Structure 1
Amino acid sequence: MASMLALWLASVTIAAEQPNIVFVLTDDQAPWALGASGYDQAKTPNLDRLFSEGAHLTNAFVVTPVCSPSRAALMTGRYGTELGITEWLHPTKDAKKGLDPETICWPEVLAEHGYTNALIGKWHLGLLDKFHPTRMGFEHFFGFRAGGTRPKDPPLEKDGVVQKFEGLTTDILTDHAIEFLKENQKRPFLLSVHYRAPHRKWLPVADEDWAPFENMDPKIPNPDYPKLDVPKVKNATREYLASVRGVDRNLGRLLRTLDELELSDNTVVIFTSDHGYNMGHNGMWMKGNGHWILTDPPAGTTNVPKGQRPNMYDNSLRVPAAVRWPAKIKPGTVITETISNLDWYPTILAMAGVPVPKEAGARGHNFLPLLEGEVIPWDNDFYAEYSTSHQTRTDMRAYRTPEWKLIRDFNNAGRDELYDLKSDAAEAHNLIDSSDEKVKGVIDKLDQKIRTKMKEINDPVLSSTGSSSSASQ
């Protein structure tokens, strides 16, 4: 009896020490579309507050720059190739696909250690019941299983039933997130809020979110890019920033609720996105499955039709990321180390004092010591992958160091790219055909890094393309 009481007291003590976690994930959120990133035309006071009150991760990336495989990597700490999810899940073509429920997701691990978990918003990891979020560690789900929904008056699933809700989608999701906070404040909780915004379609938004941009002549990154459709870029920029503003306003509602409930001190608030976004950068827009935004796009090929621009640019791979935890993280902390979305798995479990299950196969690394101000060894190299299969057909693999980035397309000759990131952060000058011996050496080195990683994760693309070591053949 005494031993049972001791165990119970120990479990109560652990639960009391565990922080609450609010994980806010946006859709198509550009890292540049924040006041905290230096873009003064973004009106994001609440995001700026969050980024200043905790840690700003300036080099946060995702391993695949499109929805479903990025979200799968976030949930599992593994690459999409390992999970059989390498492209966004199409509602008809991929209706029977999803994240294997046998995969151990980090919300499951938290649930096993006393957390009450809710997912509010977008899932996009399978439509069938066997792929439901409640099979992956979430006790509560309110939102939509598919990749998108309307920005206003959306059909959403509540208590297992899809019904229509009236109002702006971002506001509705936040209403239910606040309801969860109020009802579950007595025990450790994970609240994941996966907004649809700022994914297109951007409008309508609330009048107060549109007002700052209605008459704005926005700055765009390279207005002199040949054949850039400048009016289209500027109009899209206005609408996009208004959608971001809607996210910001609702984030403010969440933060105020935490303050009002006196939960802020013991709550980790994480903000990030499933991938980045281009808006006229390099003549294109959207993410990894990008489109040219030119008045006359280049000619297409068999696998890449005219108008398409599949890519692995930093603007597609890089995401905004901030972590606020008053008990552990000093305000104004800036983390410059390269972080990937694989790293959230072990880091969040470390925050909760929970070990990573060995059988999970998670590949990320715990960066909590960095958040707490420790100086630890850290590998700033980064590997990414994306095999497109809907609009285009590519097998892109990338290896990035702080100085260089090599992108290979194993399915399309002539689409390899090399960028000197130190002198060309905008990735405007492809050096893949350079005759410089130093550059050739960089290509060979990074090509081997790519192949080694592909072999490590049993990437089927490697076995289908042979063993040649040339990145530009």
Structure 2
Amino acid sequence: MIDRRGFLSQSLACSTLLGQTPPPAGAARPNILHIMSDQQQWGCIANRNPSRTPHLNRLVQEGMLFERSYTPSAVCCPARAMILSGAYHWHNGVFNQIHSAPSVHRDMYPDVVLYSNRLKDAGYRMGWVGKWHASWTRCPADFGYEMARVGGCDPAVLRKYDLNPDRLATPKESNRRHPIKMARWPGAQPFAMWGYE
């Protein structure tokens, strides 16, 4: 007879193996839209306050909503780096605000692999809109993103990759335009779009 601990460990092992099984050939993969905003209360969506957000409400109803999301860091940059890497800050190297001096470490460790790298390897086209705040010395292009409208890293890095070709546009205009461009990417490849504000 198997005890509770044995059952749970075997179930976890089986689910891990199943999760690594590639999808069947020809299976449709969903587009991924990840929206994260700073300083937003739960009541801002799903008709819980007087603000009308019909499009956001529809996304919530049709997609996946993380109702229990916790962070071991109350500071912006480490929290973002943890979400992107799936690793605690002591494993990914972002311990505090990367853009303010004195910063302990201004970049993720070189061996850190982000979700974007994994999705790119799986055939997704990658896009980023909004604050980066995960590395001062590297930008989304270094992590597999093909299109980005970005802030929150060294401006010299952005010029190097020419990630903000529409520098004269206001950030809000540009942030609206890029997701529309991504939704119109040619081909049947799925896309993953991160929108962080």
Give the TM-score normalised by the residue count of structure 2: 0.71
Letter of the 2:119 counterpart: L
The residue aligned with 2:11 is none
The residue aligned with 1:165 is 168
- The SS at the match of 1:70 is helix
The residue aligned with 2:18 is none
Q: Note the C-alpha offset of 1:91.
A: 3.7
Give CA-to-partner distance per residue, 1:384-437, whole Å, 9 cap, x none: xxxxxxxxxxxxxxxxxxxxxxxxxxxxxxxxxxxxxxxxxxxxxxxxxxxxxx
Q: Distance in 2 between matches of 1:63 and 1:96?
A: 18
Equivalent in 126, 131, 147 of residue 122 of structure 1: 131
The residue aligned with 2:195 is 193
The residue aligned with 2:31 is 20
**Coordinate RMSD, CA, aligned:** 3.0
Query: Is it true that 1:66 corresponds to 2:75 in the alignment?
Result: yes
- The SS at the match of 2:192 is strand
The residue aligned with 1:139 is 146
The answer to whether the Cα contact below 8 Å between 1:66 and 1:88 also exists between their aligned partners in 2 is yes
Q: Distance in 2 between matches of 1:19 and 1:53?
A: 12
The answer to whether the Cα contact below 8 Å between 1:142 and 1:159 also exists between their aligned partners in 2 is no
Moved over 6 A (4+): none
Instruction: Provide structure 1 residue ranges, at least 5 long, that are not aligned to the other structure.
Output: 1-10, 148-155, 197-473
Q: Distance in 2 between matches of 1:119 and 1:85?
A: 19
Q: 1:163 to 1:188 in 2, by over 3 A?
A: closer
The count of corresponding residues between Structure 1 and Structure 2 is 172
Q: Note the C-alpha offset of 1:93.
A: 2.7
Write out aligned runs for 1:119-268 (5 A): 119-128=128-137, 131-146=138-153, 159-160=162-163, 164-167=167-170, 169-194=171-196, 196=197
Q: Note the C-alpha offset of 1:78.
A: 1.2
The residue aligned with 1:29 is 40
Whichever structure has more strand as a proportion of its residues is 1
Q: Distance in 1 between matches of 2:109 and 2:195?
A: 22
Letter of the 1:191 counterpart: M
The answer to whether the Cα contact below 8 Å between 1:98 and 1:125 also exists between their aligned partners in 2 is yes
- The SS at the match of 1:60 is coil
Give CA-to-partner distance per residue, 1:229-262, whole Å, 9 cap, x none: xxxxxxxxxxxxxxxxxxxxxxxxxxxxxxxxxx
The answer to whether the Cα contact below 8 Å between 2:149 and 2:174 also exists between their aligned partners in 1 is no
Q: Distance in 1 between matches of 2:51 and 2:169?
A: 28
Q: Distance in 2 between matches of 1:59 and 1:103?
A: 25
- The SS at the match of 2:141 is helix
Q: Distance in 2 between matches of 1:185 and 1:174?
A: 22
Give CA-to-partner distance per residue, 1:139-162, whole Å, 9 cap, x none: 332211339xxxxxxxx8673457
Q: Distance in 1 between matches of 2:186 and 2:110?
A: 26
Give the TM-score normalised by the residue count of structure 1: 0.33
Q: Note the C-alpha offset of 1:63.
A: 2.8
The answer to whether the Cα contact below 8 Å between 2:89 and 2:95 also exists between their aligned partners in 1 is yes
Instruction: Provide structure 2 residue ranges, at least 5 long, that are not aligned to the other structure.
Output: 1-21
Instruction: Name whichever of 108-117 and 87-96 sits farther off.
Output: 87-96
The residue aligned with 1:109 is 118
- The SS at the match of 1:17 is coil
The answer to whether the Cα contact below 8 Å between 2:99 and 2:106 also exists between their aligned partners in 1 is no
Q: 1:127 to 1:189 in 2, by over 3 A?
A: same
The answer to whether the Cα contact below 8 Å between 2:72 and 2:79 also exists between their aligned partners in 1 is yes
